[in-house]
Amino acid sequence: MRHLRVPSAETQDWLALCRSSNWLLTTAGVVRLEGDFRGIPLVEHAPAEADLCWNGHLHIEVEGKGKGPVHWTERLPEALQELPKDTWPSAYEIQGDVLIVKLEGPAAAHGEDIAQAMLEQLPNIRLICADEGVKGDFRVRDLNVLKSRDETEHTRTRVREHGHFVWVDPAKAYFSTRLSSEREKTLTSIRKLRADLGRPLVLADPYAGVGPAFPLLFAEPGLIDGCLAGDLNPDAVELLRMNVDYWQSKRSDGPLKRTEIICADALLWSDNPNLREQADVLLVNLPHDSLDHLPSLLPLLRPGNPVMIRGWAIREREHLSEDTDALRQILSDNGANEIEVDLSEIKGFSTSKCFVAFECRFTI
C-alpha cells in the first residue's frame, strides 16, 4: 500500500493536509517507519510522488496497518473469494471520484460485486465504471456505469494536477495523468524562453483537450500573457472553457490579456488571420499525427523572435534519429533559422514503437 514517508514530527501537519485534500486512506492507520519516520496511507488517486505538493517526501510501498480489509477483493462475497486471485483486475484508474476498471475474462460476470466491494473499500469514490475500450472520432473511453454511491451516474469530475484543479470527464474528453512530468518540463522550457525574450509569452495549444498543460503556466506570475487553446471535440472544449475561467480567476497577477478558446480543426487555425503569427510557444499533442500536422501549424508562430514548439508523438524506436532530421527539415522547409531540435523517448508504447517528446527552438 502506498504511504507518504514523513519525519514523525511533521506527521500531524501532513495528516491534516492529506485529510483536507481527500488523499488520506481512512481505512488504514499511520505506520511507524525506521529512523523516526511515519508512513501516511494514501488513497489511489493521491498525486504521484513526483508531484510538487509532497515537498520531495518519498512514497513507499509498505503493508497497510489494518483498520479493516486492506484490499477491495477482501470485501467480495465469500463465495467469490474462493475463486483464483488472478480472476480479479489487478489495476484500475481513478480520475477524481470516478474509478475506471477493465473487466476481462471471468471478472466480467461479476461487475456488480466488484463495484460494490470497491465502493466499500474506497470511501472517496462515487462511481465505478467498466472500461469498454475507446469509441468515436475523438477516441474517448466507452464507459459502462457499474455502480454509484449516491445514484448520480455522471462522469464529470475534478482531478488535481500539480496541486491545481482540472475538470475532466473520462467518458467525453481525453485526459491522462501520464504526461504530468512532461507538463513540468514545459514550464521549465517556457521559463527559459520567457527569460530570453524578456517579456511574457503567448501560448498556443490547438490539441488542448481539457487543458492540463495550462494550470502550471497560468499559476506563474508574468510567465504568459496570452493563451490560444482549442480542441476539435466540443465536449473537451466545454471543460477547457470551465478550466481556463477557473485558472484565470486564481491568477495572482490578474487575468491574462488574451485568452481564446477555439473549437476547430487545428489544421485550419492558420486560415484565421487573428490566430496567425501570434504565438511564441506552440504545443502539439496529437501523438499519431504530430509531425504530419506541423507544417500547417507553423504559421501560428510569431516571426522575428525565437519561438518554441513542444510536442509529443508515437514513433518507431529504431528511427528516432531520422525523426530528428525530419523535424529539422520540416522547420527549415518552412523558413525557420537557427534551429535546435531535441527529440527523445519518454516511455515505451509497444515492442517497436515508443512515445517521444520533442522540443524545437528556432526563429521564423
Ligand X SMILES: C[S@@+](CC[C@H](N)C(=O)[O-])C[C@H]1O[C@@H](n2cnc3c(N)ncnc32)[C@H](O)[C@@H]1O
What residues make contact with ligand X under the rule CB under 6 A? 138, 174-176, 179, 206-209, 212-213, 231-233, 236, 265-267, 285-287
Distances in whole angstroms, Cα of residue 112 to Cα of each of 89, 118, 119, 255: 14, 10, 11, 46
**Identity of the residue numbered 159:** V
Q: How far is the CB of 85 from ligand X (least distance, A)?
A: 34
Q: How far is the CB of 289 from ligand X (least distance, A)?
A: 8
Q: How far is the CB of 183 from ligand X (least distance, A)?
A: 8
Q: CA-CA distance, 336 to 331, in Å (whole number)?
A: 5
Q: How far is the CB of 55 from ligand X (least distance, A)?
A: 25
Q: CA-CA distance, 340 to 262, in Å (whole number)?
A: 30
Q: How far is the CB of 95 from ligand X (least distance, A)?
A: 12
| Closer CB to ligand X, 97 or 231, in the complex | 231
Q: How far is the CB of 179 from ligand X (least distance, A)?
A: 5
Between strands 281-285 and 201-205, the pairing is parallel
| Closer CB to ligand X, 286 or 339, in the complex | 286
Distances in whole angstroms, Cα of residue 324 to Cα of each of 193, 328, 356: 21, 6, 11
| Closer CB to ligand X, 217 or 232, in the complex | 232
Is the alpha carbon torsion for 110, 116, 122, 124 positive or negative?
positive
Q: How far is the CB of 245 from ligand X (least distance, A)?
A: 18
99, 143 Cβ separation under 8 angstroms: no
Cβ partners under 8 Å of residue 281, min gap 6: 190, 193, 201, 202, 203, 204, 224, 307, 308, 309, 310
243-260 burial code (b ≥16 CB/10 A, e <16) = bbebbeeeeeeeebeebe
Q: CA-CA distance, 130 to 111, in Å (whole number)?
A: 8
| Closer CB to ligand X, 136 or 222, in the complex | 136
Q: CA-CA distance, 196 to 163, in Å (whole number)?
A: 28
| Closer CB to ligand X, 207 or 362, in the complex | 207
- Output the nine-digit C-alpha cell for 27: 481505512
| Closer CB to ligand X, 125 or 297, in the complex | 297
| Closer CB to ligand X, 119 or 232, in the complex | 232
| Closer CB to ligand X, 1 or 213, in the complex | 213
Cα-Cα-Cα-Cα torsion 161, 162, 163, 167, nearest 10 degrees, comes to -20
Q: How far is the CB of 178 from ligand X (least distance, A)?
A: 9
Question: Which phi and psi (to 5°) does residue 36 adopt?
Answer: 60, 40
Nearest-CB residue for ligand X: 209
